[in-house]
């Protein structure tokens, strides 16, 4: 082992930061052996120094930027946020020649390219395994393991909150709002759940997966994002009847000369590994072309899994030299060329709530035919007198633009009582 210790400074002592400190304390000797040098915590920064966290605040400072100016070899940023103090801390630490480990997916999705250039210019490493899918080593796998063949697609359940809600809706038959309220009470969802249930959190993680998979700069702005708030228990029940389950997926794939990036609820076949990722777990499938298909699953959040990913990055920073942040030199990362996702074909699930009157189905069929949408199967069941009736259809493979065009015309009818629902059926 080297006689020179590897000094660690941690900014942010919430769930993950506290878990990192506890892991270093409990397993420091073993981790130091793996790193080839002693791992020493020399500084921390947190909002409240008086809070009882169950451990001593070593080298505490109120100003996180002090950690970037101190003697630490690595600064661990666990503050969060794409701007402000988190960005300033990471930028200053890299400029001062310090390695950086972070779990901040929002920061990297927005500023990953420039931070990668900064790290490489100063001969240090920027590591972020904990920024996507928590304890699942998917980023390392894309960066180092699955490089022999070009990746064709990555599909992932990347948000435990959404997966928990959809799983509970399926098990209990309760509506979205009721399950969301329960998820908040249990701590699975934030008081303001918009970033999770609206798909934004998944988009941040997808931008990083896409960059590593395809050698492009992270491009958050080109991701089409749709959340799960409009999904109903009826949609989930119909999906089951057709042999599918509904999951919120982040999908990035090559289409022609471009790359499609999208976050959306999707119908996934029940036999697919992704369909059987339940509760707050995450799951990722990688289509590595001739090398085959790979599936990763595990906890996507929580103290132990996320802290474990942070610790792994610290050990790697201590034991190895700097490596390209996104798998290849930042100067060689290509600008992502967005593919026209609306031109890509897939089967679609569609649900309409309509008045149960003669001619309504014929009217819907006419709009679908005019848009070039062909129907593979259909379910229609009556309800109590005076109530709207659901018409559910599965299309043959059709471009999204054609389905949207048909639904826009159908929604304009006074016989349609709510916004039509459309959900793609993923080949995963």
108 in Cβ contact with 90 (< 8 Å): no
- For residue 145, the domain's CATH number is 3.30.360.10
**Residue 102 and residue 188 share a domain:** no
In 3-state terms, the chain is what percent helix, strand and coil (to 5)?
40, 25, 35
Q: What is the enclosing helix (H) or strand (E) of 400?
A: helix 400-411
Backbone angles phi, psi at 293, to 5 degrees: -110, 140
**Residue 287 and residue 161 share a domain:** yes
The active-site residue, picked from 7, 105, 205, 247, is 205
Is 336 part of a structural domain of the chain? no
**Residue 77 and residue 182 share a domain:** no
**Residue 150 and residue 103 share a domain:** no
**Residue 274 and residue 155 share a domain:** yes
Is 381's pLDDT higher than 80? no
Q: What is the DSSP letter of 335?
A: P
**Residue 152 and residue 241 share a domain:** yes
pLDDT given at position 324: 86
- For residue 405, the domain's CATH number is 3.30.70.260
Please compute the mean of the pLDDT values over residues 367-376 and round it to a whole number: 93
Query: What Cα–Cα distance (Å) separates residue 146 from each residue in 17, 222, 253, 275, 368?
Result: 30, 24, 15, 23, 42
pLDDT tens by residue, 240-296:
999 999 999 999 999 988 999 999 999 999 999 999 999 989 999 999 988 889 999
Q: How far apart are CA 324 and CA 268, in angstroms?
A: 35
Domain span at residue 351? Answer: 342-426
Is 41 part of a structural domain of the chain? yes
pLDDT tens by residue, 82-96:
999 999 999 999 999
95 is known as an active-site residue: no
Is 335 part of a structural domain of the chain? no
pLDDT given at position 383: 64
- For residue 105, the domain's CATH number is 3.40.50.720
pLDDT tens by residue, 42-81:
999 988 878 878 888 888 899 999 999 999 999 999 999 9
**Residue 282 and residue 148 share a domain:** yes
For the chain, the domain total comes to 3
Strand segments (E) across 279-336: 281-287, 293-299
Q: How far apart are CA 37 and CA 25, in angstroms?
A: 15
Q: What is the DSSP letter of 342?
A: G
**Residue 309 and residue 284 share a domain:** no
Is 82 part of a structural domain of the chain? yes
pLDDT given at position 428: 63
**Residue 223 and residue 184 share a domain:** yes
Is 194's pLDDT higher than 80? yes
**Residue 119 and residue 151 share a domain:** no
Query: What Cα–Cα distance (Å) separates residue 181 from each residue in 139, 145, 214, 353?
Result: 32, 40, 38, 26
**Rg (Cα) of the chain, in Å, rounded?**
24
**Residue 312 and residue 277 share a domain:** no
Per-chain mean pLDDT for the chain: 91
- Using alpha carbons only, what angle is made at residue 116 by residues 6 and 71, rounded to the nearest 5 degrees? 25
Contacts of 374 (CB under 8 A, 6+ apart): 368, 395, 396, 398
**Residue 143 and residue 286 share a domain:** yes
């Amino acid at each position: 082992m080297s006689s020179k210790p590897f000094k660690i400074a941690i900014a942010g002592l919430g769930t993950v930061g506290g878990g990192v400190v506890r892991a270093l304390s409990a397993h420091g000797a073993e981790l130091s052996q793996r790193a080839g040098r002693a791992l020493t915590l020399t500084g921390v920064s947190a909002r409240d120094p008086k809070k009882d966290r169950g451990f001593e605040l070593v080298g505490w400072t109120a100003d996180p930027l002090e950690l970037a100016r101190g003697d630490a070899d690595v600064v661990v940023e666990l503050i969060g946020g794409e701007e402000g103090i988190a960005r300033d801390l990471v930028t200053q630490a890299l400029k001062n020649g310090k390695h950086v480990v972070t779990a901040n997916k929002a920061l990297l999705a927005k500023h990953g390219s420039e931070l990668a250039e900064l790290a490489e210019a100063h001969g240090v490493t920027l590591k972020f395994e904990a920024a996507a899918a928590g304890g699942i080593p998917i980023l390392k796998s894309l960066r180092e393991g699955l490089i022999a063949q070009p990746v064709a697609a990555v599909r992932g359940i990347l948000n435990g909150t959404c997966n928990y809600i959809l799983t509970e809706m399926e098990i209990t038959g309760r509506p979205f709002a009721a399950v969301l309220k329960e998820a908040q009470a249990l701590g699975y969802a934030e008081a303001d759940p918009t970033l999770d249930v609206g798909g934004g959190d998944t988009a941040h993680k997808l931008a990083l997966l896409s960059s590593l998979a395809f050698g492009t700069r992270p491009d958050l702005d080109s991701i089409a994002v749709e959340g799960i708030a409009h999904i109903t228990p009826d949609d989930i029940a119909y999906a089951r009847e057709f042999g599918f389950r509904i999951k919120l997926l982040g999908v990035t794939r090559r289409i022609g000369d471009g790359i499609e990036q999208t976050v959306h609820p999707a119908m996934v076949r029940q036999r697919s590994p992704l369909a059987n990722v339940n509760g707050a777990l995450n799951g990722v499938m990688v289509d590595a072309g001739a090398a085959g298909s790979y599936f990763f699953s595990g906890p996507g959040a929580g103290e132990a899994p996320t802290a474990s990913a942070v610790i792994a990055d610290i050990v790697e920073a201590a034991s190895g030299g700097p490596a390209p942040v996104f798998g290849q030199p930042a100067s060689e990362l290509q600008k992502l060329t967005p593919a026209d996702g609306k031109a890509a074909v897939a089967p679609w699930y569609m649900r309409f709530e309509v008045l149960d009157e003669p001619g309504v189905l014929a009217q819907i069929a006419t709009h679908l035919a005019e848009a070039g949408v062909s129907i593979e199967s259909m379910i229609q069941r009556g309800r109590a007198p005076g109530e709207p009736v659901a018409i559910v259809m599965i299309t043959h493979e059709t471009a999204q633009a054609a389905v949207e065009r048909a639904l826009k015309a159908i929604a304009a009818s006074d016989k349609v009582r709510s916004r039509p629902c459309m959900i793609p059926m993923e080949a995963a």
